Amino acid sequence: MFVQQSFHQPTHIQKSADATPEQGDGDAGADNTLEDAARDGREHARERLREELKRDPTEDEINEWLRQQTEGY
């Protein structure tokens, strides 16, 4: 005999009280594109190198830092 199982799926998702319509709830990065992620990664590398070098890094230095950080992946 087959027992039919039904999984309840809500027809709406309640948003948190402080979430704005543009923000959603917890999906802040859901609309980011690959280009946004790459730009964010380069900006992170630039900030880290700026702190380490005490000057603005060159593009070659940023590329090398990113290569070293992702080498194991």
- Model-wide pTM > 0.75: no
- Are 43 and 66 spatial neighbours (Cβ–Cβ below 8 Å)? no
The confidence band for 1, taking pLDDT boundaries of 50, 70 and 90, is low
- SS3 assignment, position 22: coil
Give, in degrees to the nearest 5, the angle at Cα 63 between 59 and 64.
120
> Domain range spanning residue 52?
34-70
Q: How many domains does the chain have?
A: 1
Average confidence score pLDDT of the chain: 76
Residue 47 within any structural domain of the chain: yes
Higher pLDDT, 50 or 28: 50
| Strand, coil or helix: 54 | coil
Over 80: is that where the pLDDT of 33 sits? yes
Distance of CA 49 to the CA centre of its chain: 20
Domain-embedded: residue 14:
no
Tokens representing residue 33 in the block:
């594109």
